[in-house]
Amino acid sequence: MMEVEIRIDGQVLELNEFVQQILGNAIAGAVSALKGARKDWDTLNVVVKRIK
């Protein structure tokens, strides 16, 4: 089970359990394929910034 939180400019978006699982599994799967990524992580942070 995963808990996913999305913030846009500090405002938390509400995500239902289904969306949290879909996003969590997709991100965790992509990151686990990266060289050097630990498989036993507790917290995974992703930051996306828009460049204007």
Tens of pLDDT along 8-35?
A: 999 999 999 999 999 999 999 999 999 9
* pLDDT range class, residue 2, cuts 50, 70, 90: very high
The arithmetic mean of pLDDT across residues 2-12, rounded, is 96
Q: Which two tokens stand for residue 22?
A: 């879909």
Using a cut of 0.85, tell me whether the model's pTM lies above it.
Answer: no
* pLDDT range class, residue 1, cuts 50, 70, 90: confident
Secondary structure of 7-46 as H, E, C letters: EECCEEECCCHHHHHHHHHHHHHHHHCCCCCCCCCCCCCC
E strand or H helix that includes residue 6:
strand 6-8
How far apart are alpha carbons 34 and 37 in whole angstroms?
6
Boundaries of every domain in the chain: 1-52
